[in-house]
Amino acid sequence: MREVTATGQTIEQAVQIALQQLSSTEEDVEITVIEDGKKGFLGFGAKPAKVLVVKKKTLIEKAYDYLLNIVKSLDETADVNFELQGTKEQTFLFTVKGEKVALIIGKRGNTLNALQFLVQTFVNRHSKQLIHVVVDAENYRLKRKESLEILAKKTAQTVLKTRKAISLEPMPSFERKIIHHILTDMPNISTKSVGQDPHRQLVIDLKKPIKG
């Protein structure tokens, strides 16, 4: 239930009745006075106050509307599910479904990454605290993570064998972090990012000896 029309002897009483039904507070709702109410005279002509109280949309609901509007332009059959994860560090997880989900994902997830960037920017423009946003489709994020793990290990082995640095294809920061994390504890291997977004690349190289 998102809205309630309530009546009371006064506007304040009508509002409180509506808030109880919505299990909400005044800060989280919008109130429209329909009738001011009248006390009447000697019990005659009295009219109750009437208000319409509507719950404001939460940030994740606003972000959902924003994302849904975009994906509908790509695929009219598309739908979006959302959930809130975490407490201190919150993550908004959006899962896209539709007949043209491959189009929404794009080559190597480029379209999905662009959608995630747009929603991330939208959310943090309206939030005082940093909120992480993940936009997924067809479990792509997990599959991509697994392929990045394989890529990282294979590339590191090639670097160890050839003793030459290898630059990977440009990828977003969260994907570079996955590879960096995988290779952090690998002996003799170092990683660093070079270039400017959206063309920033991860370079896998041999660790330079520490000069004593």
Based on C-alpha coordinates, what's the Rg of the chain?
27
CA-wise closest residue to 94 among 104, 79, 81: 81
Structure tokens at 13: 């009483």
The pTM score is 0.81
Domain boundaries, the chain: 3-55, 59-138, 143-206
DSSP assignment letter at 26: G
For residue 178, the model assigns a pLDDT of: 95
93 SS3 class: strand
CA torsion, ordered 124, 125, 129, 133, to nearest 10 deg: -10
- Could you tell me which residues are beta bridge partners of residue 205? 190
Residue 40's pLDDT band, with cuts at 50, 70 and 90, is: low
For residue 212, the model assigns a pLDDT of: 52
Residue 208's pLDDT band, with cuts at 50, 70 and 90, is: confident
CA-wise closest residue to 75 among 109, 112, 110, 103: 103
User: pLDDT tens-digit profile of 128-142?
Assistant: 888 999 999 999 999
Mean pLDDT computed over every residue of the chain = 92
User: pLDDT tens-digit profile of 171-203?
Assistant: 999 999 999 999 998 989 999 999 998 889 999
**Which spans in the chain are helix H?**
11-22, 59-74, 101-105, 110-125, 140-162, 173-183
User: pLDDT tens-digit profile of 92-118?
Assistant: 999 999 999 999 999 989 999 999 999
Superfamily of domain 143-206: R3H-like domain (3.30.1370.50)
CATH fold of the domain at 3-55: Defensin A-like (3.30.30)
Q: Domain 59-138 - what CATH class?
A: alpha beta
For residue 169, the model assigns a pLDDT of: 94
For residue 149, the model assigns a pLDDT of: 96
DSSP assignment letter at 114: H
| Number of helices (H), then strands (E), in the chain | 6, 9
Residue 74 CA to residue 105 CA, distance in Å, equals: 11
Contact 64, 80 (CB under 8 A): yes
Residue 211's pLDDT band, with cuts at 50, 70 and 90, is: low
